[in-house]
């Protein structure tokens, strides 16, 4: 069990979405925080909200997780501010719209630098310190798209499958050495954040209608509130759960992938289209 009260956590991508909700939920449960993001205004707003409501110590760190040197500096600064820091949440991430032929190599490298390498560098920077703590926890954000791989998500799914593989292998290594560090990988389903609206278009994507349809589909899939996602992640930390699925949609898709590992997408696509039709028709 990893105790939240009395702990100190670093959360990347803390200015909005799941990161923001998680920062607030951790503070409410007595956890000090090092908040990291590249959105300075959003970061300051979250910090002010926490300081106005709770007595927890909060430090703010302007960081681009795509830059390894900045992550190294974050680790030094966060540990200096919170010497007993024992929870690391690698949450920062971005999205990219477009089929494989519509995205450039530069597009994919941009996304991988944030979604995958940001997790790897964040884990590497903090792990030596975490190993010195009596109990510690790493939380790496993957996605339900780290379990299933829809069309139009070649880059995003690749990054989230990579986070999953990296995290599971590292967890097994930590278990082999009987480390005090626990590791959870998180697979959210549809969560109502701005990640889709803020997504980048592939360099060769010109079909604006299909882009709008993709965003509309994401909107219909976003059935879980960020606050609920944060509570579920905290439960997973406290229970040392190796895999944290968020939302009934994620649980259903995970099960379907197990039952139909090679043909799951046709069934999932039909379910999404049916749900979208109900919502548009006002029957939901």
List the CATH number of the domain containing 16.
3.40.50.720
Residue 31 lies in a domain: yes
User: Would you state the pLDDT for residue 284?
Assistant: 40
Q: What pTM was estimated for this model as a whole? A: 0.89
E strands, 63-156, are 87-90, 96-97, 136-141
**How many domains, in total, are found in the chain?**
1
Residue 248 lies in a domain: yes
Residue 47 lies in a domain: yes
Residue 252 lies in a domain: yes
Residue 45 lies in a domain: yes
Residue 2 lies in a domain: no
Q: Give the whole-angstrom CA distance, residue 55 versus residue 282.
A: 44
The enclosing H or E element of 122 equals helix 117-130
Residue 1 lies in a domain: no
**84 alpha carbon, distance to own chain's centre:** 23
Residue 3 lies in a domain: no
Q: Give me the residues of the chain with pLDDT under 50, please.
A: 212, 215, 279-280, 283-284
What is the span of the domain harbouring residue 110?
8-280
**Contact assessment for residue 211 and residue 205, using Cβ atoms and an 8 Å cutoff:** yes
User: Would you state the pLDDT for residue 196?
Assistant: 52
E strands, 28-94, are 32-37, 58-62, 87-90
User: Would you state the pLDDT for residue 122?
Assistant: 98
User: Would you state the pLDDT for residue 224?
Assistant: 86
User: Would you state the pLDDT for residue 30?
Assistant: 97
User: Would you state the pLDDT for residue 2?
Assistant: 87
- Active-site residue 156, yes or no? yes
Pick the catalytic residue from 156, 161, 218, 264.
156
Q: Return the number of other C-beta atoms located less than 10 Å from residue 275's C-beta.
A: 17
């Amino acid at each position: 069990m990893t105790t939240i009260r009395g702990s100190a956590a670093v959360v990347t991508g803390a200015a909005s979405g799941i990161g923001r909700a998680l920062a607030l939920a951790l503070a409410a449960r007595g956890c000090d925080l090092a908040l990291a993001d590249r959105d300075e205004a959003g970061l300051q707003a979250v910090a002010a909200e926490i300081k106005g409501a709770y007595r927890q110590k909060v430090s703010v760190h302007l960081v681009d997780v795509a830059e390894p040197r900045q992550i190294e500096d974050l680790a030094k600064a966060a540990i200096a501010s919170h010497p007993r820091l024992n929870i690391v949440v690698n949450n920062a991430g971005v999205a990219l719209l477009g089929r494989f032929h519509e995205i450039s190599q530069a597009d994919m490298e941009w996304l991988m630098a944030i979604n995958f390498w940001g997790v790897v560098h964040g884990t590497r920077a903090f792990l030596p310190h975490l190993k010195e703590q009596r109990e510690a926890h790493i939380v790496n954000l993957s996605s339900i798209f780290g379990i299933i791989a829809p069309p139009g998500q070649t880059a995003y799914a690749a990054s989230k499958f990579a986070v999953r593989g990296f995290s599971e292998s590292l967890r097994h290594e930590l278990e082999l050495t009987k480390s005090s560090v626990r590791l959870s990988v998180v697979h959210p389903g549809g969560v109502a954040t701005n990640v889709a609206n803020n997504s980048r278009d592939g360099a060769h994507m010109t079909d604006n209608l299909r882009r709008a349809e993709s965003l509309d589909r994401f909107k219909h899939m976003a059935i879980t509130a960020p606050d609920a996602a944060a509570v579920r992640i905290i439960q997973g930390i406290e229970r040392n759960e190796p895999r944290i699925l968020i939302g009934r949609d994620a649980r259903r898709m995970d099960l379907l992938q197990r039952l139909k590992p090679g043909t799951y997408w046709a069934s999932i696509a039909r379910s999404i289209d049916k749900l979208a039709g109900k919502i548009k028709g006002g029957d939901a």
